[in-house]
Structure 1
Amino acid sequence: MNTFFAGLLLTLSTVLFCAPSPKKTKKPLVVFVCGDHEYSGEETLPIIAAELEKNYGMRAVVLKASPDHNSEENIPGLEVLKDADLAIFYLRWRRLPPEQLAHIEAYLKSGKPVMGFRTTTHAFNFPKGHVSEKWNAFGEFALNTPPGWGGKAKHTHYGHNSSTDVSIVPKASGNPILTGVAKDFYVRSWLYHVVPDYPLKGSTILLTGKAVNPQRAAVENPVAWTGTNAFGGKIFMTTLGHPEDFRIESFQRLVINAVHDELGLKVPKKWKGKMDIQVPYRVAK
């Protein structure tokens, strides 16, 4: 074999066998943080998490209050937030220790996206003067909601016997998060009152709700919005989240779409099918 062909074969072998292999795309990690007393988020969100893993190419971790949903001072495993690409919260009146709050704070300060359901508007409930009292305003600084329940914002609801008619905000109809979501649909959640000051200025309202059979005079309120939080992180928040809401296809699509959008992924054009979510509501503690 002459020198020319020997050199050519050597070059070809280098290209074929030594060239770097294409990198595999890392699956995004979604971390769910649950503990809400009332709405069975510890049961609904694991079904969403399993769906994301099975049909949408994601990894998911679900963290729960321990030893049960009424345990307000312990959610083990929050250190995994350092690896999360998206954190999703469904909390109600927790009092976590500083070392656990530190993991949430580090995640928020990273500017990564945050998503929240219903009672996450009042995720924490530390007594006045407590070293962690600032966390009572988690809803405001993390998700553009009122800062806790009641208070000057008059954040409240229209009665447990009421429910809500939900409608897409016309000017938001082209938002990809609303892909496949019905123009109007009904949910069991009783409407939360957040207006006139919330969601915070700069938020984009996607859905509004009108109370059905309210116990007092009711006004239309936002029930889902996007925006940017105090740390520069992208947010999606919905004040819906009664377990019966999760049975509705439009709500399921809203949630799956929002997860994709939060991660900077294209909302899937093809719906993988309605999930069977049969989780009971429990009376609040």
Structure 2
Amino acid sequence: MRAFFSLLVLPTLLLAAACADPSPDGSAAPPDDPPDDPPYVVFVTGDEEYRSEESMPMLARILQRDYGFRVSVRYALDDDGIIDPNRLDNIPGLDVLEEADLMVLFTRFRALPDSQLQHILAYAESGRPMVGFRTATHAFLYEDDSTKAYLNEAWPAEVFGQRWITHHGHFDDGAHPLTAVTLIEAQRDHPVLRGVEPFQAYSWLYHVEGGGDRLSGDSLPLLLGRALRSNHAEAGRLDRFPDTQPVAWTKTYTGSSGIPARVFFTTLGHPYDFKEPSMRKLALNGILWALGLEASIPPEGANAEVVGAYEPNNSGFGQRYKPGMRPELW
């Protein structure tokens, strides 16, 4: 892939895999025959609701184990270097995006300083592929009179396919699944859907289409979600906010480089969603497809067995995340 190397690749996920409990067959180790020039995937986390600081390292470990990818995760940190999803203005180390082959973005309402933000924006314009999860529809939140206010809605709509509009309701976060996920029959043979079976997600359904709204550009929906319970249905507003919505799609984004970039996006991403093998397959297949590696996705989909344990905290604001974690522990 890109011919770069940096010591900054190592601090987070390579140490993370070493710290994780190995699986019984030793599969936590890198593959015996890793690629000579492995892709470098950078996960950018920072959301105070959905525990991206737990789910994204889990995916990164699988990519390292099964594909020999170089991986890094960047987190929202406090001034002492402790992971703090509630810190909205600090995700250090984003300069590694200059070397990345893929950026995976799972942030929510961040207000990053220019010195950090510039790396995300430059990457997006470069023509390199991107993957986004759930709150990347509202990855940033700047003041309305800021020159960066376009990042609040226009940017995610153009890059990922939609901005934040509304959802169909929380209803006791994590207590019960809230969205029934099914494959769109016409896309059943798409590489991203290999091995993906219908499942029930804990993510409450995001509105992205209908009632005058539509996905942008060449977005191709792959999965549909049906709200198992909806506050819009209870309010009699399904004409404006239908209770069946696309929850995963592919598209392209052409930035200032003039190079069309592959983009995979899903509005799913509740921490409990990733306990479901089909959700993990969807995420991993989407990453491989974005990188142009769909030929490496087997008919049964990417191996979704986690490295060690995945026992995330539930979604929620405030102090619902695991306190005291440092990046090197992951």
**TM-score surpassing 0.5?**
yes
Question: Match of 1:257?
Answer: 285
Residue 156 (structure 1) aligned with residue 166 (structure 2)? yes
Residue 186 (structure 1) aligned with residue 200 (structure 2)? yes
Secondary structure (helix, strand or coil) at the match of 1:229 reads: strand
Question: Match of 2:313?
Answer: 280
Aligned residues: 254
Residue 234 (structure 1) aligned with residue 262 (structure 2)? yes
Q: Distance in 2 between matches of 1:273 and 1:185?
A: 15
Question: Match of 2:225?
Answer: 209
Residue 223 (structure 1) aligned with residue 223 (structure 2)? no
Equivalence map 1:102-113=2 (5 Å) = 102-113=118-129
Any conservation in 1 of the 2:230–2:243 contact (CA below 8 Å)? no
**1:141 counterpart letter in structure 2:** E
Deviation, 1:215, is 2.0
2:62 maps to which of 51, 59, 74: 51
**1:142 counterpart letter in structure 2:** V
Deviation, 1:230, is 4.2
Question: Match of 1:20?
Answer: none
Question: Match of 2:133?
Answer: 117
Segments of structure 1 that go 5 or more residues without pairing to the other structure are: 1-23, 150-154
Any conservation in 2 of the 1:177–1:267 contact (CA below 8 Å)? no
For the aligned residue pairs, the C-alpha RMSD in angstroms reads 1.5
Secondary structure (helix, strand or coil) at the match of 1:216 reads: helix
**1:43 counterpart letter in structure 2:** E
Deviation, 1:135, is 1.4
Q: Distance in 1 between matches of 2:202 and 2:214?
A: 22
Any conservation in 2 of the 1:49–1:60 contact (CA below 8 Å)? yes
Any conservation in 1 of the 2:192–2:285 contact (CA below 8 Å)? yes
Any conservation in 2 of the 1:29–1:85 contact (CA below 8 Å)? yes
Q: Distance in 1 between matches of 2:262 and 2:115?
A: 25
Question: Match of 2:236?
Answer: none
Secondary structure (helix, strand or coil) at the match of 2:122 reads: helix
Residue 40 (structure 1) aligned with residue 69 (structure 2)? no
Any conservation in 2 of the 1:176–1:267 contact (CA below 8 Å)? no
Q: Distance in 1 between matches of 2:304 and 2:287?
A: 16
The more displaced of 262-271 and 89-98 is 262-271
- So what's the TM-score if we normalise by structure 2? 0.74
State the percentage of identical aligned residues: 39
Q: Distance in 2 between matches of 1:267 and 1:171?
A: 22
Q: Distance in 2 between matches of 1:206 and 1:85?
A: 24
Any conservation in 1 of the 2:281–2:304 contact (CA below 8 Å)? no
Report the structure number with the largest CA radius of gyration. Answer: 1
Segments of structure 2 that go 5 or more residues without pairing to the other structure are: 1-34, 79-83, 172-176, 234-241, 319-330
Deviations 1:121-154 (A, max 9, x none): 00111011113212113321221112xx3xxxxx
Question: Match of 2:75?
Answer: 64
Q: Which has the higher relative contact order, 1 or 2, with Cα contacts under 8 A spaced 6 or more apart?
A: 2
Deviation, 1:273, is 4.5
Residues 198 and 267 of structure 1: is their aligned pair in 2 closer, same or farther, counting only changes over 3 Å? Answer: farther
Any conservation in 1 of the 2:252–2:262 contact (CA below 8 Å)? yes
Q: Distance in 2 between matches of 1:187 and 1:45?
A: 17
Q: Distance in 2 between matches of 1:89 and 1:171?
A: 28
Any conservation in 1 of the 2:222–2:248 contact (CA below 8 Å)? yes
**1:134 counterpart letter in structure 2:** Y
Question: Match of 1:143?
Answer: 160
